[in-house]
Structure 1
Amino acid sequence: MIINKTIKFMALRKFFFAVAIVLMVGSIASLAIKQLNLGLDFTGGALIELNYDSPADLEGIRGVLRAEGWDDAIVQNFGASTDVLIRLPSDDPDLGSQIARLIQNEDGSEVTIKRIEFIGPQVGEELRDQGGLGMLLAMGGILLYVSLRFQMKFAVGAIVAIVHDVIFTLGFFAFFGLSFDLTVLAAVLAVIGYSLNDTIVVFDRVRENLRIMRKADLEEIINVSTTQTLARTLATSFSTILVLLALFYFGGENIHGFATALLIGVCVGTYSSIYVSNGLLMTLKLTREDLIPTQVEEALDERP
């Protein structure tokens, strides 16, 4: 796809800045009020995987568990309709075996226990802390990388765009009460990489055009650069979304959260790489002089 006409992206910069601020505030409010629905990977508990000889009656299983006092049990199909996954928050390592025996005794169908796992609350807390630390280290590494490859104003734009994407993704999960487990955390880290890659492509073209288009102002340069990379951005986003939709609908319950987080991250990351990161370059008043190394500036100043 070839775009001959320059699209005036920055004409709507203030509007999309306002949208970004509203999304950030709403996401932070959701995280503060509703909080993330942490999965067993972080809270600890029992996981039981059962296999039936015929399609399982999920409501019947839930009824059996509620009768025994486990109202907060999560019962869902795992892949095929004959495979059932039961999740229970608990600090009892023997609970999984008790639940499996209870289901076998109460259900008239032939039930096979395929897997019983227990995650202690201490292990879950360590995973949560290490996951958060991993995200912070990723942000710090990106700030260092972009500031060394480009310039600090570029780094600020990239980091703010990535923080925007991550907070919105987390806020979406908090608002809708979706389970947040290790697979979702992995997806959030992938969103960071995807958003950075998209932003770097645009930044490369902005830097190049700053040196070529000497008579153009910054707004025109950003509009031209974004238009030149738009075809690549849309093609990458569209193909990625197609794969993620296939994973979401056909990948099974186990990776729904992963696919959902990446779908949100890709969509919001495409928008933020155009309006948030580029818009901040204008707010920070990026100039051609910012791209001249200090040694070159000193050499120019010393010339007679």
Structure 2
Amino acid sequence: MRLRLVPKETSLDFFRFWKTTFGASVLAMVASVVLFLLVGLNFGIDFLGGTTIRTESSQPVDVGAYRDALDPLGLGDVVITEVFDTNFGPEQNVASVKIQAQEGEEAVSNAVLDEIQGALRAYDSNITFPSVESVGPEVSGELIQTAAIAVVLAIMAVLVYIWLRFEWQFSLGAVAALVHDITLTIGVFALLQIQFDLAIIAALLTIVGYSLNDTVVVFDRVRENLRKFKQRPLVEVLNLSINETLSRTVMTSVTTLLALISLYVLGGDVIRGFVFAMIWGVIVGTYSSVFVASAILLYLGVTRDTSKTDGGAGTQFADIDA
């Protein structure tokens, strides 16, 4: 007996209250923009500037002990990670200590550096500091600009890809879903004030890929059913297509979330922000594929090309058991 997360055949009406769900999505996006403008993001060292200190010792790196040693200094945001390299010898235990720029300063001052080194030496007398690097506000500003450009270019590439593969109505629906996912992710980071750094930008780009994949699977089945059921109303075709791919959607989302939740609980502070963004992205990405992308398609309508067959739609894996 196989476990099913959803019945083999479903007939859920996803568009019974589509205007309400779409309106709620729009309101959530507006709220996210307001939070971003009024509250702002809790930018990390990558975007605010700061100093990175590289440490090396014959003793194993203990991130918790390093943090306890530095906490009394009141340095603000401190990120400590162990550095691994196959070229390191058995006596080379390397760590990276990132400290945000202090108020009114472009980088950590020499006096503060001396305090940091003294605190770490008090814990480990054998520790050395091979390098100290600072990132100023100018470089941080360039990183913010580059990150924003990367996200915009990814969305534009998706727009062109969907437009070429389907029709412009499908393209606008897919891009609307991506904008929805990214906007809500930024909004929840502004609301919860979770640290926003380059790892979160990587998560946003990953969310774009995940959400797009889910949307394309649904749209492929929609295109196939539009050719198969030429006289059915569009809303019925959309409902049928989503129900037919529901098993695949649920299975993909649940298995992905199981892995992400495990990482969130056991992965530690270093990747927790990234994993949280991915968890949130999977949830809103699954939601937007149905209640945003498909709703846009229903509103705009689509021209049916009856001259083409339904072969080659690429949905042979849409009916896997869930």
TM-score interval (norm. to shorter): 0.7 to 0.9
The alignment status of 1:134 with 2:150, answered yes or no, reads yes
Overall identity of the aligned pairs, in %: 35
Question: Which of 232, 255, 259 is the matching residue for 1:243?
Answer: 259
Question: Which of 81, 94, 100 is the matching residue for 2:116?
Answer: 100
The alignment status of 1:184 with 2:200, answered yes or no, reads yes
Question: Which of 103, 119, 122 is the matching residue for 2:138?
Answer: 122
The alignment status of 1:44 with 2:44, answered yes or no, reads no
The alignment status of 1:165 with 2:181, answered yes or no, reads yes
In structure 1, the residue corresponding to 2:127 is in which secondary structure?
strand
Aligned to 1:74: 77
117-126 or 22-31: bigger deviation: 117-126
Aligned to 1:29: 34
- Counterparts of 1:42 and 1:77 in 2: how far apart (Å)? 17
- Counterparts of 1:42 and 1:76 in 2: how far apart (Å)? 14
Using the size of structure 2 for normalisation, the TM-score is 0.79
Q: Describe the shift of the 1:108–1:31 C-alpha distance in structure 2 as closer, same or farther (beyond 3 A).
A: same
Contact 1:218 1:287 in 2 (8 A): no
The alignment status of 1:212 with 2:234, answered yes or no, reads no
- Counterparts of 1:108 and 1:77 in 2: how far apart (Å)? 15
Aligned to 1:274: 290
**Structure 1: runs of 5 or more not aligned:** 294-304
Higher percent of residues as helix:
1
Aligned to 1:61: 70
Using the size of structure 1 for normalisation, the TM-score is 0.83
Aligned to 1:298: none
- Counterparts of 2:10 and 2:120 in 1: how far apart (Å)? 67
In structure 1, the residue corresponding to 2:52 is in which secondary structure?
strand
Contact 2:70 2:116 in 1 (8 A): no
Q: Describe the shift of the 1:219–1:165 C-alpha distance in structure 2 as closer, same or farther (beyond 3 A).
A: same
Q: Describe the shift of the 1:111–1:256 C-alpha distance in structure 2 as closer, same or farther (beyond 3 A).
A: farther
Offset, 1:252: 2.1
* RMSD of equivalent CA atoms: 2.8
Question: Which of 112, 128, 132 is the matching residue for 2:127?
Answer: 112
Offset, 1:59: 5.9
Q: Describe the shift of the 1:139–1:108 C-alpha distance in structure 2 as closer, same or farther (beyond 3 A).
A: closer
Offset, 1:4: 1.9
Offset, 1:285: 2.1
- Counterparts of 1:190 and 1:143 in 2: how far apart (Å)? 16
Q: Describe the shift of the 1:103–1:220 C-alpha distance in structure 2 as closer, same or farther (beyond 3 A).
A: same
Contact 2:155 2:175 in 1 (8 A): yes
Question: Which of 226, 245, 253 is the matching residue for 2:269?
Answer: 253
